[in-house]
């Protein structure tokens, strides 16, 4: 990790213009007295004494989390492994009922939702999920990819639609649009 120190009155908006150039190598944590945002670099204002706070366990609480809802455990494992490569923590549910409990307790920012589950269709749960966790981004993942199902999922509130089998690159590209 690289520490970049700026004077207290430095306008950080200038840094966002160069962020894409440097974003592949560094983890950034923008922080002030009352907020903290994970970004592709580390910025500490005023002094390096804040570095210990920035790198403390508190900063790990702001990692992106995802929920994977799929009855195929191998898909959950595969997708969880792909997400881990992008430093995204994941939890898994194999039914809609399990998913609803996790959504109520955790409100995950990203939800990968299979359509054909043992206790119902994921597509029919999108509105209920969005009502419980409106800030969540829903990515439908299904082996049954057809134009009408894709259109219905998006109309009901899904943000993205991915057909199985998916590739790591497709998941990475979708994540790049989300986080």
Domain residues of the chain, as ranges? 3-60, 65-178
Give the CA angle between residues 170, 118, 128 to the nearest 5°.
70
For 153-175, the pLDDT digits (tens) are 999 999 999 999 999 999 999 99
Asked whether 28 and 38 are in contact (CB, 8 A), the reply is yes
Spatial CB neighbours of 148, under 8 Å, sequence gap ≥ 6? none
Q: Is 135 helix (H, G, I), strand (E, B) or coil?
A: coil
Place of tokens 């992106």: 64
For 97-118, the pLDDT digits (tens) are 999 999 999 999 999 999 999 9
Q: Which CATH number among 3.40.50.2300, 3.30.230.80, 3.30.930.10, 3.30.70.20 corresponds to the domain 65-178?
A: 3.40.50.2300
Q: How many CA atoms, within 13 angstroms, populate the side-chain half-sphere of residue 54?
A: 26
Confidence of residue 11 (pLDDT cuts 50, 70, 90): low
Write the DSSP assignment of 3-22 as a string of letters: EEEE-TT--GGGGGGTHHHH
Query: Is the pLDDT confidence value at 70 over 90?
Result: yes
């Amino acid at each position: 990790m690289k520490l970049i120190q700026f004077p207290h009155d430095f306008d950080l908006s200038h840094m966002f213009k160069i962020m894409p150039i440097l974003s592949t190598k560094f983890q950034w944590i923008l922080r002030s007295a009352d907020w903290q945002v994970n970004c592709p670099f580390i910025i500490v204002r005023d002094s390096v004494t804040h570095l210990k706070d920035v790198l403390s366990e508190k900063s790990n609480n702001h990692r992106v989390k995802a929920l994977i809802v799929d009855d195929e455990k191998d898909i959950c494992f595969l997708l969880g492994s792909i997400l881990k490569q992008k430093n995204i923590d994941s939890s898994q549910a194999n039914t809609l009922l399990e998913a609803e409990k996790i959504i109520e307790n955790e409100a995950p920012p990203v939800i990968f939702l299979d359509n054909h589950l043992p206790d119902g269709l994921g597509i029919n749960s999108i509105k209920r999920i969005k009502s419980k966790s409106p800030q969540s981004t829903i990515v439908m993942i299904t082996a049954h990819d057809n134009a009408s199902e894709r259109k219905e999922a998006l109309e009901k509130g899904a943000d993205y639609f991915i057909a199985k089998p998916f590739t790591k690159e497709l998941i990475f590209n979708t994540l790049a649009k989300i986080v």
